[in-house]
Amino acid sequence: MIQKQKGCNDIKGYEAKVWKYVEAVIDATMEKYNYNYIRTPLFEATELFHRGIGESTDIVTKETYDFEDRGGRKITLRPEGTAGVVRSYIEDKMYGDPTQPVKVYYNGTMYRYERPQSGRDRELTQFGMEVLGSDDPLSDAEVISLAVNIYKMLGLKEIKVNINSLGDAESRNNYREALINYFKPRIGELCEDCQSRLEKNPLRILDCKVDSEHELLKNAPKTIDYLNDESKERFDSVKEYLDILGVNYEVNPNIVRGLDYYNHTVFEIEAKVEGFGSNNVLGGGGRYNGLVGQLDGPDTPCIGFASGIGRLVKALELEKVKMPLVLDIDLFLMYVNEDEKKYAAYLSQELRMAGFIVDTEYVGRGLKAQFKQADRLNAKYIAVLNSEDLNNNEIKIKNNRTKEEETISLDALIYYLDEKLNASDEYDDCTCSDLECNCGGDCCHDECEHEHCSCGHHHE
């Protein structure tokens, strides 16, 4: 039996509905902020990621899926979304668009060859956003605020933003020298990766997972102590705009992020979720003013953010967030003979085109088994097609919750379903997971006249 590859997952059933809901909220929120969707290829020239992400990052040195295609070209499966967006921005000359800045978002799979563990897979799905062409501190604050609002709209409550500044090129170079001077005398105490990073990119040492508890890393110089006046002023403006937008944040000088292209604002967003473990970061990002120029485009200030959807879905599950998922169908059409089956095929098509969720029988079950199938599908209404009724232009409709049955004209079916389903919206919108009777008895909810949801909604 062929099995899925290590570090990959099948998303199906209820979980798939949760994913689709999360993606719908992301799409709707991005639209409110006037971000346009962009889709870039799953694979790009290897050089894009080596030059863009940086040769010294773990992603490039250890985690990329690299191969040669049949034409001998060096290709890499994308490990993150920003580099591809920047390549598209340059190649398609988006910098010449009079509508600036360019605000885009993406949602797609990324690939990283790493040891699979909880919340970290080899195939992962990320959504992210990029603002290209603005150096305004308000852009930084807006990106952070947008990410926070997506999490909140999905139902996560305790959201924490950690922000820091790496400063401009001058500030970052001063900080780099300070780190080299600090680590050099005792670099032998750290892992081989840290030793190799000392001269190439000492900021990566601060990101080390092996030595994260070592006293050298805990007592290392802080970025904000090496910011020049201009960088400090800019960082203060970002914080002021975050205050205006009502975003709660905490300055955390240990935030440096894992990619080489960041400067100025960097941030991570956490969710306090019981059972999530010590690593409760949902996503993060920062400003990368030099990346477009580094990839042969014009100097362009940019800021972005990315978040793993799988990790986000896990957080929602642990928080037991109730979501308005469609877990039922409007109507299940049943039949006995071949003529009725043909009419079921015709009628289901007509009703679907009218906007209803309709299903019917496909594997030759008898009526008793079809009733069970309707229950498994949580059908709100059932229709048993009967040749005699059809000849009279009639159909029997049964409410699968109240068990009430009516015979109506086929011509009125769409209007009937529309009216009945809209009348039950109050019931369907309720997010209570259980129903409670306030009469004090162990009665059937379908028959009790005093039925209430635990939220207080009354349902007839």
* 125 lies in the same domain as 65: yes
Q: How many domains in the chain?
A: 3
The verdict on residue 198 lying in a domain is: no
Q: Other CB atoms closer than 10 Å to residue 250's CB: what's the count? A: 11
The domain boundary residue, chosen from 297, 318, 339: 318
Q: What is the three-class DSSP state of 365?
A: coil
Q: What is the pLDDT along the chain (460 residues), one digit of tens a residue?
A: 999 888 889 899 999 999 999 999 999 999 999 999 999 999 999 999 887 666 555 556 668 899 999 999 999 999 999 999 999 999 999 999 999 999 999 999 999 887 766 667 889 999 999 999 999 999 999 999 999 999 999 999 889 999 999 999 888 888 888 888 888 888 888 888 788 878 777 877 877 778 778 888 888 888 888 999 999 999 999 999 999 999 999 998 888 765 667 889 999 999 888 877 667 889 999 999 989 998 999 999 999 999 999 999 999 999 999 999 999 999 999 999 999 999 999 999 999 999 999 999 999 999 999 999 999 999 999 999 999 999 999 999 999 999 999 999 999 999 999 999 988 654 444 444 444 444 443 444 443 443 334 333 434 3
DSSP state of 98: S
Q: Containing domain of residue 456, as a range?
A: 432-460
The verdict on residue 304 lying in a domain is: yes
* 79 lies in the same domain as 108: yes
* 346 lies in the same domain as 460: no
* 335 lies in the same domain as 307: no
CA distance 49 to 261: 11
CB 297 within 8 A of CB 289: no
CATH number at residue 373: 3.40.50.800
CB 147 within 8 A of CB 269: yes
The domain boundary residue, chosen from 276, 294, 318: 318
* 338 lies in the same domain as 373: yes
Q: What is the three-class DSSP state of 157?
A: coil
* 118 lies in the same domain as 236: yes
Torsion of CA 204, 208, 214, 220, to 10 degrees: 20
Structure tokens at 135: 């150096």
The verdict on residue 216 lying in a domain is: no
CB 274 within 8 A of CB 27: no
| Residue 37 bridge partners (DSSP) | 105
Structure tokens at 201: 């990119």
* 275 lies in the same domain as 354: no
* 155 lies in the same domain as 250: yes
CATH number at residue 275: 3.30.930.10
CB 152 within 8 A of CB 159: yes
Torsion of CA 43, 44, 49, 51, to 10 degrees: 170
Q: How far apart are the first and last CA of the chain?
A: 51
* 26 lies in the same domain as 155: yes
Question: What is the structure's pLDDT at 448?
Answer: 41
CA distance 17 to 317: 13
* 262 lies in the same domain as 382: no
